[in-house]
């Protein structure tokens, strides 16, 4: 059996790679699980994107190396994330492992591996889940406030803020209880961020609040993504490469896997350009 894997390091382009899976691993390996791959004199952890029983097209079996072992049979990423990673890499022409590291940081893998991945619930991800098309909520009479947002929020959602200042202002006004939410901040410790990542994966709570970084969390457990956008806020992630977050939203929507809403009082031209695609404009 052959497996197609997403590199978590040492990639040079945007492509998913192919390796051989020995029969001894057949009962342990699954789509979206973590495997160990030999790269030169090093062993690296990569994610299984999909499995293929026959010999893949345009592949010479003599040139295919075998995986060393299965690190975790528990799926670490959802199907929509597996589809999104190469799409983002190709869109921005960034080596695929750099995008994969945003979705699955090495610090999270290291923390989980020390605990034998026990903090994760073994939830079999579904690739049949579909969400509605996107919406752009435009407030022409008011800035975006907690009371205004609460009028449109669904029972289960991820609320994505421009920065921690906006997040703190929302928490002071909202009726949403902090104990009912996963709340992350830029100055949260790595341990707290890893716990938030795990809680989001497990669907421990129905609400998650943070900045643009949670676009790379496993948000399969949340019904809707609400992205607070404003023409005067920065919309890029500068390190290690410049990523336009509205483009990330567009890619997520193109996968057909998320109900995405942009909420703005001063929409940027970039946000308005999405209306021509799949985003409906709604004045609130």
pLDDT band at 196 (very low <50, low <70, confident <90, very high): very high
Q: Is residue 215 part of a domain?
A: yes
Give me the domain span that covers residue 148.
134-283
Q: What is the CATH number of the domain that holds 108?
A: 3.40.1440.60
CA distance 234 to 245: 10
Q: Is residue 55 part of a domain?
A: yes
Domain boundary among 57, 86, 114: 114
Q: Is residue 262 part of a domain?
A: yes
Q: Is residue 129 part of a domain?
A: no
Q: Is residue 75 part of a domain?
A: yes
The reported pTM is 0.85
Query: Lowest-pLDDT range, 56-65, 98-107, 123-132, 167-176?
Result: 123-132
Bridge-based pairing of strands 207-210 and 279-283 is unpaired
Q: What is the pLDDT of residues 60-108, one digit of tens each?
A: 777 788 888 899 888 888 888 988 999 999 999 999 999 999 999 988 9
Domain boundary among 114, 143, 159: 114
- Tell whether the model's pLDDT for residue 156 goes beyond 50: yes
Same domain, 80 and 183: no
Same domain, 101 and 143: no
Same domain, 108 and 165: no
- Tell whether the model's pLDDT for residue 159 goes beyond 90: yes
Same domain, 87 and 138: no
Domains held by the chain: number: 2
Q: What is the pLDDT of residues 216-262, one digit of tens each?
A: 999 888 888 999 886 555 544 444 456 778 888 888 877 766 688 88
H or E segment and range at residue 274: helix 269-275
How many other C-beta atoms are found inside a 10 Å radius of the C-beta of residue 71? 20
């Amino acid at each position: 059996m052959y497996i197609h894997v997403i590199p978590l390091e040492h990639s040079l382009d945007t492509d998913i790679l192919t390796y051989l899976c020995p029969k001894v691993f057949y009962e342990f390996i699954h789509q979206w699980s973590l495997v160990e791959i030999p790269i030169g004199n090093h062993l690296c952890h990569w994610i299984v994107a999909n499995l293929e029983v026959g010999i893949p097209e345009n592949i010479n079996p003599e040139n295919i190396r075998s995986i060393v072992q299965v690190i975790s049979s528990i799926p670490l990423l959802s199907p929509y994330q597996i589809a999104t990673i190469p799409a983002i890499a190709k869109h921005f022409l960034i080596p695929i492992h750099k995008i994969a590291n945003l979705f699955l940081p090495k610090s999270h893998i290291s923390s989980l591996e020390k605990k034998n991945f026990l903090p994760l619930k073994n939830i079999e991800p579904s690739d049949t889940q579909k969400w509605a098309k996107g919406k752009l909520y435009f407030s022409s009479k008011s800035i975006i406030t907690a009371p205004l947002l609460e009028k449109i929020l669904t029972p289960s959602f991820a609320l994505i803020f421009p920065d921690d200042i906006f997040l703190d202002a929302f928490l002071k006004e909202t009726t949403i209880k902090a104990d009912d939410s996963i709340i992350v901040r830029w100055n949260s410790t790595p341990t707290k961020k890893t716990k938030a990542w795990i809680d989001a994966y497990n669907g421990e709570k129905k609400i998650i609040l943070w900045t643009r970084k949670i676009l790379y969390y496993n948000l399969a457990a949340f019904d809707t993504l609400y992205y607070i956008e404003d023409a005067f806020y920065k919309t890029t992630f500068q390190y290690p490469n410049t990523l336009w977050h509205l483009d990330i939203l567009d890619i997520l929507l193109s996968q057909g896997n998320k109900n995405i809403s942009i909420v703005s009082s001063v929409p940027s031209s970039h946000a308005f350009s999405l209306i021509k695609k799949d985003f409906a404009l709604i004045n609130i």
